[in-house]
Chains A and B, each alone.
Chain A
Amino acid sequence: MSEFRFKLYITGHTPRSDLAIYNLRQLCDTKLKGNYKLEIIDILENPEMAEHERILATPTLIKLSPAPYQRITGDLSNPDRLISGLDLDNYLHEF
């Protein structure tokens, strides 16, 4: 089973950023059993990195692997959208 790799773009540690981080970790810990890597990028500190990914809205979650590449915008408080957006449906059925 391939490992999940995520990047999460936030702008400072606002309640919205923290909520997104919490929601994502919650999902990954329960559904992916911890088999993931998450990189959190604060745009306020690294604006060039936001330029490269052309980030508009924050928080934005990017799934780098497994393919396909996916972008999800928001504080991830909608778990159904998050699961379908990350294409986890098929994956979870394997268990």
Chain B
Amino acid sequence: MLIEKLPTGIDGFEHISNGGLPKGRTTLLSGTAGSAKTVFASQFLASGIQQYQEPGLFVTFEELPDDIRRNMNGFGWDINAWEADNLWSFVDAAPRPMENEVIAGDYDLGGLLARIEYIVQKNKIKRVSLDSIGAILNRFHDTHIFRRELFRISMALKTMGVTALMTAERSNEYGEIARNGVEEFVADNVIILRNALENEKRRRTIEILKFRGTFHQKGEFPFTIDPKIGIIVIPISAIELAQHSSNTRISSGINEVDKMCGGGFFRDSVILVSGPTGNGKTLLATQFISGGVKNDEKCLLFAYEESREQLFRNAIGWGIDFEKYESEGRLKVICEYPEVTSLEDHLVRIKNSIAEFRPNRVAVDSLSALERVSTIRGFREFVISLTSFIKHYEIAGLFTATTPTLMGGTSVTESHISTITDSIILLRYVEMFGEMHRGLTVLKMRGSTHDKDIREFTIDNNGIHLGKTFNNIVGILSGNPQHIVSENEDRLGGMFNDPKIPPI
């Protein structure tokens, strides 16, 4: 028989669980202190009420109901109101400091079970959260009875037909599933929440360890806690490469660049612009935005390197009036320091902004600035997730990336993103006879032919202007340009024409 899934209503969780929690079963949710177990357990009930009108029961073994009511109010979950409508119920099993429990002889948790059963029947409960079961053992100390009673509760929950979530404490991010080594045996399904410290940065992930008899996505997925929504799981590998592809070309905002790309970017492509600092990346992004607005498209610009004032002033210098665009509702500029929040939260903010504003074009300047607030792994996941999100909306996205050295080289950003992007434009400094020149080349243009030259470009009041190709220069892309005198050039060319050299 197929095991049905119950949609939790937690953003992104349905993706990684292939539809939700196994219906009518108990799932163990294990995590270290501060790994958001209580939030998850509460959100499971809250979204059940909000999205599916399913009444929920919260059995609390640690926190007092009043604390939970207050703590969860921040997410906009009005537990008091739900309690009045019998949509949310508490079974208060939290210890009080004054009560000293004396044990004299054998016992069971029949009292607890009877209370749960009573409320489940009375209020037609569909979802039950038990938080956290390890606290029972802290009170009663007997592991043998704990195991026996947990098993009994889990069987009883199954008989009641509710879908239950039991939380358990664990001591290490990577170690035994739960602290007491008992909890995992009573549940058919185990989910692990992690809050690991990596390079001085916290990274929250969720992993479905097992779902007995049914399928789920494997491995850890990052998640974040939005102060208004709660937990948002970011499903990376669950993203499908199923987006449409269009042949419609859009202008990059610079005619000569359009020509180099064989007629402009594709409407739903992701473009990476890589170059050293001060080489014209922000300008290229600005012109990309302006090109969109001029074409009556809506544009969204995320700036992580410059302040709003700086950005607007620079744009004016190139004859582009962002302020006017914004007042016309065709542009939205979001300026933020990367450090204000975690990368996962940035991702959620970007996604929300795109979903709200519904732009035709998105520019991110620069992606590398965001690299600072994350681990390498987290950043890779961010880039993949953002790219696929933009592709999902079938809009054009332009990301800039700063190379680590002035003369080029590859950055982490590029190595993570280069295979995902449809087009790559490289900007480079070229040193020639004691002068710095700027060079631009289209390295990749998926689905189209493009100009392979490295062209010199200049910047004036109107923006970028492409000039001639660099002749007699090699090694521009490797960051080590060398001028070849014509004698050498002739010799190099002649080498391959020499019939005396046998082919290898």
Q: Measuring CB to CB, which residues of chain A are less than 8 angstroms from any residue of chain B? A: 9, 11-12, 14, 16, 19-20, 23, 43-44, 47-48, 50-51, 54-60, 70-78, 81-82, 84-85
Looking at the assembled complex, report how far the CB atom of A77 sits from the nearest CB atom of chain B, in whole angstroms.
Answer: 4
Q: Which 6 A-B pairs have the closest CB atoms?
A: A11-B110, A74-B105, A47-B118, A85-B102, A77-B105, A55-B111
- Per the bound structure, the CA–CA distance linking A16 and B105 in Å amounts to 10
- Per the bound structure, the CA–CA distance linking A71 and B293 in Å amounts to 73
Residues of chain A with a CB closer than 8 A to B484's CB: none
B107→A55 contact, CB < 8 A: no
> Does any Cβ of A come within 8 Å of B357's Cβ?
no
| Known pairs A70-B102, A73-B103, A81-B102; A16 contacts B118 (CB<8 A) | no
Residues of chain B with a CB closer than 8 A to A77's CB: 104-106
B111→A57 contact, CB < 8 A: yes
Residues of chain A with a CB closer than 8 A to B104's CB: 72-78, 81-82, 85
B102→A75 contact, CB < 8 A: no
B114→A73 contact, CB < 8 A: no
- Per the bound structure, the CA–CA distance linking A11 and B117 in Å amounts to 12
Residues of chain B with a CB closer than 8 A to A23's CB: 105
B105→A71 contact, CB < 8 A: no
A57→B105 contact, CB < 8 A: no
B103→A56 contact, CB < 8 A: no
Residues of chain B with a CB closer than 8 A to A11's CB: 108, 110-111, 113-114
B103→A74 contact, CB < 8 A: yes
Q: List 15 A-B contacts (CB under 8 A).
A: A20-B105, A43-B115, A47-B117, A50-B111, A50-B114, A54-B92, A55-B111, A56-B112, A57-B109, A57-B111, A57-B140, A59-B107, A71-B102, A75-B106, A85-B102
| Known pairs A54-B93, A73-B140; A60 contacts B105 (CB<8 A) | no
Residues of chain B with a CB closer than 8 A to A9's CB: 111
Q: Is the interface of A mostly helix, strand, loop or mixed?
A: mixed
1/0 per residue, CB under 8 A from A, across B29-48: the answer is 00000000000000000000
Looking at the assembled complex, report how far the CB atom of B300 sits from the nearest CB atom of chain A, in whole angstroms.
Answer: 53
B93→A56 contact, CB < 8 A: yes
A57→B107 contact, CB < 8 A: yes
The interface on chain B, measured as residues whose beta carbon lies within 8 A of the other chain's beta carbons, has a size of: 27
- Per the bound structure, the CA–CA distance linking A77 and B91 in Å amounts to 29
Looking at the assembled complex, report how far the CB atom of A23 sits from the nearest CB atom of chain B, in whole angstroms.
Answer: 8
Max count, chain A CB within 10 A of own CB: residue among B107, B113, B117, B118: B107
A43→B107 contact, CB < 8 A: no
Q: Measuring CB to CB, which residues of chain B are less than 8 angstroms from any residue of chain A? A: 91-94, 99-115, 117-119, 136, 139-140
Residues of chain B with a CB closer than 8 A to A12's CB: 110
Looking at the assembled complex, report how far the CB atom of A57 sits from the nearest CB atom of chain B, in whole angstroms.
Answer: 4
- Per the bound structure, the CA–CA distance linking A72 and B105 in Å amounts to 9
A58→B108 contact, CB < 8 A: yes
Looking at the assembled complex, report how far the CB atom of B63 sits from the nearest CB atom of chain A, in whole angstroms.
Answer: 14
Q: Which residue of B lies closest to A57 (CB)?
A: B107
- Per the bound structure, the CA–CA distance linking A85 and B105 in Å amounts to 12
Partner of A47, one of B93, B101, B115, B136: B115
- Per the bound structure, the CA–CA distance linking A77 and B140 in Å amounts to 16
B136→A56 contact, CB < 8 A: yes
Q: Which residue of A lies closest to B121 (CB)?
A: A47
**Given A16-B106, A57-B111, A85-B104, 17 more pairs with CB closer than 8 A:** A11-B108, A11-B113, A12-B110, A16-B107, A19-B105, A23-B105, A43-B111, A44-B114, A54-B94, A73-B102, A74-B103, A74-B104, A75-B105, A75-B106, A75-B107, A81-B105, A82-B104
- Per the bound structure, the CA–CA distance linking A43 and B401 in Å amounts to 66
A78→B111 contact, CB < 8 A: no
- Per the bound structure, the CA–CA distance linking A76 and B105 in Å amounts to 5
- Per the bound structure, the CA–CA distance linking A70 and B139 in Å amounts to 15
- Per the bound structure, the CA–CA distance linking A12 and B108 in Å amounts to 12
A58→B102 contact, CB < 8 A: no
Looking at the assembled complex, report how far the CB atom of B33 sits from the nearest CB atom of chain A, in whole angstroms.
Answer: 23
B111→A74 contact, CB < 8 A: no
Residues of chain A with a CB closer than 8 A to B101's CB: 71, 73
Residues of chain A with a CB closer than 8 A to B118's CB: 47-48, 51
- Per the bound structure, the CA–CA distance linking A19 and B107 in Å amounts to 11
A55→B108 contact, CB < 8 A: no
A73→B115 contact, CB < 8 A: no
- Per the bound structure, the CA–CA distance linking A37 and B81 in Å amounts to 41
Residues of chain A with a CB closer than 8 A to B136's CB: 56
Partner of A56, one of B102, B111, B117: B111
Looking at the assembled complex, report how far the CB atom of A50 sits from the nearest CB atom of chain B, in whole angstroms.
Answer: 5
Looking at the assembled complex, report how far the CB atom of A88 sits from the nearest CB atom of chain B, in whole angstroms.
Answer: 12
Residues of chain A with a CB closer than 8 A to B139's CB: 56
Looking at the assembled complex, report how far the CB atom of A80 sits from the nearest CB atom of chain B, in whole angstroms.
Answer: 8
- Per the bound structure, the CA–CA distance linking A43 and B109 in Å amounts to 12
- Per the bound structure, the CA–CA distance linking A20 and B110 in Å amounts to 14
A74→B114 contact, CB < 8 A: no
A60→B111 contact, CB < 8 A: yes
Looking at the assembled complex, report how far the CB atom of B112 sits from the nearest CB atom of chain A, in whole angstroms.
Answer: 5
Q: Which residue of B lies closest to A60 (CB)?
A: B111
Residues of chain A with a CB closer than 8 A to B114's CB: 11, 43-44, 47, 50, 58
Looking at the assembled complex, report how far the CB atom of B474 sits from the nearest CB atom of chain A, in whole angstroms.
Answer: 79
Looking at the assembled complex, report how far the CB atom of B120 sits from the nearest CB atom of chain A, in whole angstroms.
Answer: 11
Residues of chain A with a CB closer than 8 A to B102's CB: 70-73, 81, 84-85
Q: Which residue of A lies closest to B122 (CB)?
A: A47
